[in-house]
Amino acid sequence: MKKSDVFAAALRVAAALSVFAAAFSAATAKAQDGSSTEVTLMEHKLRYEREKTEYLQKDILDRVLGPDKAIVVVDVEFGLDTVTTRSFAKERKSEQKKDIGQIEYLLPGVPNPKAVSAGDPTGETKEESGQQEKTTVEVKVVLKRQIVTVLHDDKVPAARLETVKDAITSALRIDARRGDRIDFKETKFTRGFLDQILKPLVLIPLILALLIIYFLFVPFAGFLRSYVRTLKEKGGTEVTVDSKFGTPEGEGGAGGGDGTGALGAAGAAALEVIQGEKKFEPFIYITDDNLKRMIYLIRKETPRTIALVISYLKAEHVKEVLLSLEPRTQSEVAIEMATIRQMSKDQVMKIDTDIKEKIDFLIGGVGPLLKVLDQVDKVTSDNILDYLQNEKPDLYDKVRKFILKFEDIKNFPDQMMQVILNCPDLKNSALLAKALKGSPQDVVNKFFANMSSNAVQLVQEEMQYTQAVTEMQVEEERKKILGVVRKLEDEGKIFVREKPNTSALEGEEVLCDDSSGSESASGPAAEYYQAGVAAHDAGNFQDAISYLEYALSLDDKLTDAHNYLAAAYYALGRYDDALARYEIVLSINPGDGELSSFVEQLRMQASRR
């Protein structure tokens, strides 16, 4: 083989080895670069999803729908976008040929590398100039698709879901053309403790368990009460137990003496407990609500009886009782309280029972009548007062001093009148002008005497140039002025009228009619009748009508129920209904002259209407 052929083969082997080494290095670098790219994309995806999920949950879902009403899941897909840039540059190449003899070889077919300091070898040199193409590749991470899934409670309104959808679309820049979408999925969220209890699987067993406990323990408690009641009536039972075990002398004997068996001791202990619970406590039923009625019942009793009653009352109740008595009676009661006297249990129980049986059936008085007069209109109030003045002058005198009417302003002291007119609610000249329209001259003078000249001039101009006003408008403005007066009275800033005695009932004497059907009624009819009377006395006339009508449907012989029902109708302005009821009462008691006169007056008013 020629020497030139050997060199050529060596050159081919060296070239092949160089190509293989370059290819291996490129493949390794590509594999590493691809793995690094995948890791970078995954980290970017996880970070993006976490940040957007937290943002949507806290700033949109929890604020719009409320906490624990929905959860959100964000799923995104990222990709790589490659941008290639090409450029051209001029390049000059020089090629120098060497003679074969001048080439030095490190190995057969592998030339020896040229040293940096070595000069150019001799030989032919060829220079070429041309244009070189340069390519630049840039890789970017891009968002390919977003999918947002919202799991919400089934009770969330559709309008709020639409608001959430718009907010998410704006926040994440959802683009349907790119494949983005928002999915809403309805589900049932875990309820609170109360919702869990109200589930049928929990509620039904719970009710059954409570019923079982009730039926087990209530009869057992009744048995224990019966057993203790028997022990109380018959006393403890002595039980003697013969024992074969001897008892040393001096350590309890042989069961004789006053000792009882185990059952007797337990019974005695139970009896002591029940006796402690059943201890008689007089007048414990006296409360703030019925104190006035109790005072009315005992006001004519002897000082000794009054002293006995108040000795069992609370300190604040004792004070109210004493304040309601005459000065002389107060002194006599105080002396009786200071006197030590032994009273029997039967005596105390008799007084206690007597008051207890009467106190809940004592009705009427000035207080309820004043409430009625404050709530009805002026015409009705004037009719009632006119009737009282003509037929019951004593009762009229008791009632009239507690009633506040617009005409009473003329009797107010000037100092009180100035306080009233300085109230901000009465600085309106139009209000005063309407209220004084058609008023007596002495009332107008009382207002003008306590006002400045400018204020008087304004009111006079309003009264002169204001168009005609109705009586209803005038009455409405007068009610506003009287409301200011009552407010200042309650605040303690003025005192223009006497206030009713809050510690005792006032009114006509109690009349007891044993033949009344209302007194002898029993059962549901009596219960509804008493509820109607209580509602009437409290000023709840509509409720009183409901109760009394139902009581009469059960028993139409309740005479007093007809009477109270007529009064409730009258207070609400239902005069025809009131007249019909009063005529029923009159047919039952035709000899009642006062009622006959009142019914005749109602008939005349009805004919004028």
DSSP character at residue 498: P
pLDDT in tens, 410-429: 888 888 888 888 888 888 88
Residue whose C-alpha is closest to residue 303's, from 322, 323, 283: 322
pTM above 0.85, yes or no: no
The mean pLDDT value for 152-160 works out to 85
C-alpha torsion sign, points 366, 372, 377, 381: negative
- Contact (CB, 8 A) for 82 and 139: yes
- Interhelix angle for 559-571 vs 541-554, to 10°? 150
- Contact (CB, 8 A) for 132 and 89: yes
**Who's near 280: CB < 8 A, 6+ residues apart?**
345, 349
Cα separation, 537 vs 202, whole angstroms: 47
pLDDT in tens, 37-49: 666 778 878 888 8
pLDDT in tens, 490-514: 888 887 776 655 444 555 444 444 4
Predicted pLDDT of residue 43: 83
Predicted pLDDT of residue 258: 44
Architecture of the domain whose range is 377-490: Orthogonal Bundle (1.10)
Among 306-315, 369-378, 382-391, top mean pLDDT goes to 306-315
End-to-end CA distance of the chain: 151
Predicted pLDDT of residue 495: 77
Predicted pLDDT of residue 149: 92
Beta bridge partners of 186: 152
pLDDT band per the 50, 70, 90 thresholds, residue 2: low
Which SS3 state, helix, strand or coil, does residue 92 take? Answer: strand
- Amino acid identity of residue 242, one-letter, is D
Cα separation, 559 vs 597, whole angstroms: 19
**Who's near 262: CB < 8 A, 6+ residues apart?**
239
pLDDT band per the 50, 70, 90 thresholds, residue 107: low
**Who's near 498: CB < 8 A, 6+ residues apart?**
401, 402
The mean pLDDT value for 79-108 works out to 59
Residue whose C-alpha is closest to residue 165's, from 153, 147, 183: 183
Q: How many CB atoms lie within 10 A of CB 538?
A: 12
Question: Can you give 168-201 as a three-state secondary structure string?
Answer: HHHHHCCCHHHCCEEEEEEECCCCCHHHHHCCHH
Predicted pLDDT of residue 519: 44
Give domain limits for the chain: 3-89+102-112+129-187, 291-359, 377-490, 517-608
pLDDT band per the 50, 70, 90 thresholds, residue 89: low
Predicted pLDDT of residue 104: 58
- Contact (CB, 8 A) for 336 and 325: no
Which SS3 state, helix, strand or coil, does residue 478 take? Answer: helix
pLDDT in tens, 250-299: 444 444 444 444 344 444 454 544 444 457 788 888 888 888 888 888 87
Cα–Cα–Cα angle for 59, 65, 67, rounded to 5 degrees: 75
Judge whether residue 56 has pLDDT over 50: yes
Give the CATH number of domain 291-359.
1.10.220.30
Q: Which of 83-97, 217-231, 533-547 has the lowest mean pLDDT?
A: 83-97
Residue whose C-alpha is closest to residue 71's, from 146, 159, 156, 181: 156
Distance, C-alpha 141 to centroid of its chain: 56
Q: Which of 183-187, 191-195, 277-281, 313-317 has the lowest mean pLDDT?
A: 191-195
In Å, how far are 10, 18, 19, 363, 477 from 22, measured between CA atoms? 19, 6, 5, 118, 109
Q: Provide the mean pLDDT of the chain.
A: 74
From the candidate CATH numbers 3.40.50.2300, 1.10.600.10, 1.25.40.10, 3.40.50.2000, the one assigned to the domain spanning 517-608 = 1.25.40.10
Alpha-carbon torsion angle 548, 552, 554, 560, nearest 10: 90
Cα separation, 486 vs 492, whole angstroms: 10
The mean pLDDT value for 151-166 works out to 86
Cα separation, 422 vs 485, whole angstroms: 11
| Rounded percentage of the chain residues whose pLDDT exceeds 90 | 1
Q: Give residue for tokens 């007194």.
A: 519
377-490 against 517-608: fold identical: no
Predicted pLDDT of residue 520: 45
- Higher-confidence residue of 10 and 296: namely 296
Q: Give residue for tokens 């619970």.
A: 277
- Higher-confidence residue of 270 and 606: namely 606
Beta bridge partners of 14: none
Distance, C-alpha 92 to centroid of its chain: 93
Beta bridge partners of 183: 149
In Å, how far are 242, 253, 260 from 248, measured between CA atoms? 15, 7, 18
pLDDT in tens, 392-407: 787 777 777 778 888 8
pLDDT in tens, 461-473: 888 887 778 888 8
Residue whose C-alpha is closest to residue 362's, from 308, 284, 288, 291: 291
Predicted pLDDT of residue 58: 86
Beta bridge partners of 80: 141
| Rounded percentage of the chain residues whose pLDDT exceeds 70 | 69
